[in-house]
Amino acid sequence: MQRLHTIAAWRDYAQRQRDAGHSVGLVPTMGALHAGHASLFDEAKARGDVVLATIFVNPRQFGDIADLRAYPHTPEVDLRLAQEHGVDCLVEPALEEMWPEYPRPTATTVSVRGISEVLEGAGRPGHFDGVASVVAKLFAVTGPCRAYFGDKDFQQIAVVRQMVADLALPVEVVGCPIVRDYDGLALSSRNLLLTETARHQALSLSRALHQVGETRRYASAMRRAMRAVMEDAGVRVAYADVVDPVTFMPTRDDEGGARRALVAGVVGGVRLIDNGPVVVEPRRD
């Protein structure tokens, strides 16, 4: 496995792979790697890509400096997991390499209106601008590729897909299934920050989704049910919503069909998200 640290070397590596007739699979991460990331590496490898993974904790997507400082770092685990799952090139750029002027804002920001302004976007102003900006840079440096993201960050994937479509970027965005721990908790780097008590509370997010996913209800009944499960566990609910999986418009009670349920909450000071597919029945009064 090659390890690179500069944009120039990274760009050159990706281009040489394409020149040799290989497809490039990009897996962007912020480190603190776990089995969810491993599943992305495995999927890229299974599709025959040369797997290029990046580790960069992007400060521009954190609105709270304390949240940024608390983000977990596990470099030894990251290196071992990447090697074990066939990563061909691990890119670990320094902050000065990615954002030389930080903490001053860059002159250019990529902003995806609409789907980035609700749910996570509403609760974390500027978050998706930071995400879109750094992902646009990752794509610009890597060049034509397949990019792999986990469905746990369902709204993030939608933002990235919209950006790719609007800017006609030569990137295929691949969403991969959520990987869960033995108890149903969606794997997240932030799980490392949970105490035993907080982790038990956090299970209410997946329980809430499982409950509404097993029974067809109208949208507002689903919202109430999810919120109740989370609040009963002591979670500070950020949102519990049912939306169109493409537009992210909230589902009305007179609408039915395949939708996405998304939840977020703060548990022991840690913000967690989860989501899953649901089938909504229209309300009939």
CA distances from 37 to 40, 42, 75, 180, 213 (A): 5, 9, 14, 12, 25
- DSSP letters along 39-103, please? HHHHHHHHTTPEEEEEE---GGG-S-HHHHHHS---HHHHHHHHHHTT-SEEE---HHHH-TTTT
Residues belonging to the chain: 285
Please tell me whether residue 224 adopts helix, strand or coil conformation: helix
∠ CA(221), CA(224), CA(227), 5° rounding? 145
CA distance 263 to 210: 12
Query: Cis (ω within 30 of 0) for the bond into 103?
Result: yes
Indicate the DSSP class of residue 250. B
List all residues 6 or more positions away from 16 whose beta carbon is below 8 Å from its beta carbon.
none
Q: For residue 89, give the amino acid letter.
A: C
CA distance 91 to 97: 12
34, 37, 85, 127: the catalytic one is 37
127 tagged catalytic? no
Catalytic residues: 37
